[in-house]
Structure 1
Amino acid sequence: MPKCDHCGAHVSERFARVFADERGEIHACVSCSANAGIAEAAKERARGT
C-alpha cells in the first residue's frame, strides 16, 4: 500500500499515481498538507525547501 513519505499516512493507489514524483515518492498528502496545496507542497518538499 502506498504511503506519504513525509508523514507516513496511507494514500490510495489513485492518489499515488497522480501525486508521486518520477521516483514514486509522495511528498505530501491530505493528512499533512491542505487539499488545495498538495501539489505545491510536494514540489517544495521534493526540492528540499
Structure 2
Amino acid sequence: MPTCNHCGAHVSDQFARVFADETGAVHACPSCSANAGIAEVARERAPEA
C-alpha cells in the first residue's frame, strides 16, 4: 500500500504510478498539497537525484 513520504497518508496505486519518482517514492499527495500543484510540489520536495 503506497503512502506519501511527506505526510504518511495512503495514496492509491494509480496515484503512485502517476506521481511517484523513479524510485517509487511519493513526495506529495492531496492530503498535504493543493491538487493543482502536486507534481510541482513533489519535484520541490524530492531529494536531488
TM range (shorter): over 0.9
Identity over aligned residues, as a percent? 75
Which has more helix, going by share of residues? 1
Structure 1 runs, 4 residues or longer, greater than 3 Å off? none
Q: Name structure 2 gaps, 5 residues minimum.
A: none
What's the TM-score, normalizing by structure 1? 0.93
Amino acid at match of 1:34: A
Aligned equivalent of 1:20 = 20
What's the TM-score, normalizing by structure 2? 0.93
Q: Name structure 1 gaps, 5 residues minimum.
A: none
Aligned length: 48
